[in-house]
Chain A
Amino acid sequence: MSTALPAPAREPAWSLSRSAIGLWTVQGVLGTLTYAVLVTAGILVVPGDAGALATIVRWGGPALVLLIGVVTTGIRPRLRYRVHRWEVTADAVYTLTGWLDRTWTLVPISRIQTVDVNRGLVQQLFGLATVAVLTASSQGTVRIPHLEVEVARRVAEDLARRAEQVRDEAT
């Protein structure tokens, strides 16, 4: 999987809360259950004498659900936790996200427009929150997912305060 080629960008310094693994696993379970329901419905709808289609739905469907289940609950959460990192430097917010694809995002504090703290339903169970940093660009949003609520709140406050001080109106 990994090669000798160096990463294109520096790795941000801090890792996420370990509870993030649990949260991603729960999300994986929920997603797998959704697929399982869909496949069950498919098996009920397709008549048994529909030939090749029936075979595909009967055997391929459950196999696919099993595969999705293993990947999204067993493999993906751990891989994600290994990849995801974040950092707030002297003048920028910097994150690394993804599991197969990797995305490094860097936004200077001087260009921050708003800072949001979001808490999803599952996130609340794990005491986590996501900090979303918005800029003037619709594509230039940085999300630091799954920080402990207290950390998220402090980061958001700190960023908002510093953005206020150094905001430049160039954009």
Chain B
Amino acid sequence: MSDPAAVPGQRTSRWVLLLHTITFRQARALVPAALGLGAARGFEGGTVTVVAAVVGVTLLSLLWAALSWWRFSYAVGDTSVVVTRGLLSRSVRTVPLDRVRGVEVEAPALHRLFGLVRVEIDAAAGSVGSTGEELVVDGVTRAEGDRLRARLLAARLPPSRGRHAAGADLDPEVDDDRDEVITRFDPRWLLYAPLVGSYLAVPVAAFGALFRLLDEVPDRFLPQVDRPGVPDGLLAALLLLGGLVLLGVGSIVGSAVVNWHFRLVRRGGSLVATRGLVTRRHTELEIDRIRGCTVSQGVGMRLAGAARASALVTGLGDAARRGQLLPLGPQEEAWALAERLVEPTDPLQLHPAAARRRSVVRGVVPGVLVLVAGVVLTATSGWWPLLVVGAVLTGLGVPLGLARYAATGHATGLWSFAVRSGWLVREHAVLQRRAVVGWQVRQSPFQRRAGLVTVLACVGVGSGGYTARDMAADEAAGFARAASGAWADALTPAG
């Protein structure tokens, strides 16, 4: 009865053919090759060749999209979901419904044009950080997407909550009076974007792509730009200023595209996050599976009092993106969120003075190595610049070491514990005690002499482990015991 094979497979919408042809989804891999071939042959035939190539690639793309569409089907049975695909070799993947951890409905811009959505079914089986366990059904109608989601999630939840989830209005655009809005993105928060490394990377990547493209285009198609008649110094300064402004604006735009209209609501037993200007994303996290929370702040963000908060959720693929609760915002907001999800700990404890010494030594060592090399070079060949670089690096190592030391700390609480580390990006992770699946205590010969250890809490969420570096050696066992359970008593030294 519950045999999934008995359920007839369904194809995705036919419109997806058009969609994939337009975006060259399958043939995209051929484009660089075609460009390279064209560049090598120098586009001899001129316009005719280019048009022929474009038509050829489009036809190929259509054919490919059609074949993929024809060979792809999905079926949701009583106990499992089956996805069949593959052009030549058939791949049939069966995922039991109780393994489905989450369903994400995504509507990229072009999909919206055709009224389609992409459904990503997350079935990570214990493996942290892998996206290989994900099923994607690309290009079903909005209604079918919502039906799939409701169906899959209803089967996963206990009956009482399942009915609720299935009955709830699944359209994120419509307000539901059962929804409790937790965070609503304030457009002013976008001003923090230029302080965040990952958003700054967006315009840089865009420029990089642009220059690569310009490089590919033959010279005769490029306009000749005359050098403007201004002095070199002024030109450089103007270029730099312009670059900085573009970088700032680019990062704000990039952040706006991703985070536009971000909203985090609580719906039944789940947290639902929606966001995006062009592509609307709709992610659902089960509150029962939340094991912890991180609040991270880069150097610039700390200066401006900004932070981002993420939930650590078991069995969530692509957790870094999906777990985001507050992509960018004031730190007070981030802390309030963290405290709401995970019981707060006692105040953070700094590590002993020996840890500060080690941190400074760690910060200085690379500089000293360069310095020694510089001394050797200066003595042998009189080449001194390396010496200067070494001295500067060594000097910078001291404040860096002190700052890194100031960032580390750990804390325990009744139900949770916390570790903090990092200077470039300071990450404060608060985890529930029950999240711990193991402890690792490491000690190098240097640490042994200084009476320090590095304690790693192994957890089945996030990066898989959270580290408290250079903790006092005699505190390690007590911390492990207080941050997990009685089983950690095995670590306690005798006597």
Contact = CB atoms under 8 A, between A and B. Distances in A.
Is B one of A's binding partners?
yes
Q: Is the interface of A mostly helix, strand, loop or mixed?
A: loop
A135 B434 CA distance: 14
B259 interface: no
Interface string A107-131: 1101101000000000000000000
Interface in B422-448: 434-435, 437-445, 448
B491 A104 contact: yes
A54 to B, nearest CB: 17
A9 B475 CA distance: 10
Interface stretch (B171-179, B266-274, B329-337, B457-465): B457-465
B491 A135 contact: no
A45 interface: no
Contacts of B435: 170-171
A136 B128 contact: yes
Contact of A10 (B127, B128, B485, B490): B490
Contact of B128 (A6, A87, A94, A137): A137
Given A111-B438, A139-B465, A140-B464, A10 B456 contact: no
B490 A89 contact: yes
13 contacts: A5-B451, A10-B494, A102-B442, A103-B441, A106-B480, A106-B487, A111-B438, A135-B438, A138-B464, A139-B458, A140-B458, A171-B434, A171-B435
Contacts of A138: 127-129, 464-465
B364 to A, nearest CB: 21
B75 interface: no
A106 B438 contact: yes
B438 A108 contact: yes
A91 B453 CA distance: 24
Contacts of A89: 490
B241 to A, nearest CB: 45
Given A3-B448, A100-B444, A106 B459 contact: no
Given A6-B493, A8-B477, A136-B314, A104 B445 contact: no
In the A-B complex, the 5 residue pairs with the closest CB atoms: A136-B460, A140-B458, A139-B465, A140-B438, A107-B438
A105 interface: yes
B266 to A, nearest CB: 22
A7 B487 contact: no
Contacts of B476: 8-9
A49 interface: no
A94 B494 CA distance: 15
B444 A101 contact: yes
A139 B460 CA distance: 9
A7 B441 CA distance: 11
A95 B266 CA distance: 43
A79 to B, nearest CB: 11
B492 A137 contact: no
Contact of B490 (A106, A113, A140, A171): A106
A94 B434 CA distance: 19
Contacts of A5: 448-449, 451, 473
Interface in B347-386: none
B126 interface: yes
A152 interface: no
A103 B442 contact: yes
A50 B247 CA distance: 48
A12 to B, nearest CB: 8
B474 interface: yes
Interface string A132-171: 0001111110100000000000000000000000000011
Contacts of B473: 5-8
A7 B474 CA distance: 8
Contacts of A36: none
A26 interface: no
A90 to B, nearest CB: 9
Given A106-B488, A139-B465, A9 B458 contact: no
B291 interface: yes
B117 to A, nearest CB: 31
Contact of A9 (B127, B463, B487, B491): B491
Contacts of A43: none
A9 B441 contact: yes
A103 to B, nearest CB: 5
A106 B439 CA distance: 5
Contacts of B442: 101-104
A110 B492 CA distance: 19
B444 A135 contact: no
A100 B442 CA distance: 11
Contacts of B444: 100-101
Given A3-B448, A9-B491, A10-B491, 12 more contacts: A6-B473, A8-B476, A8-B493, A10-B490, A102-B443, A103-B440, A104-B439, A105-B439, A136-B459, A139-B458, A171-B314, A171-B435
Contact of B445 (A100, A103, A136): A100
B465 to A, nearest CB: 4
A92 interface: yes
Central interface residue in A5, A87, A104, A137, by most chain B CB within 10 Å = A137
Interface in A1-26: 1, 3, 5-10
A137 B449 contact: no
Contacts of A111: 437-438
Contacts of A135: 437-438, 458, 460
B213 to A, nearest CB: 38
Given A9-B493, A94-B490, A104-B491, A171 B441 contact: no
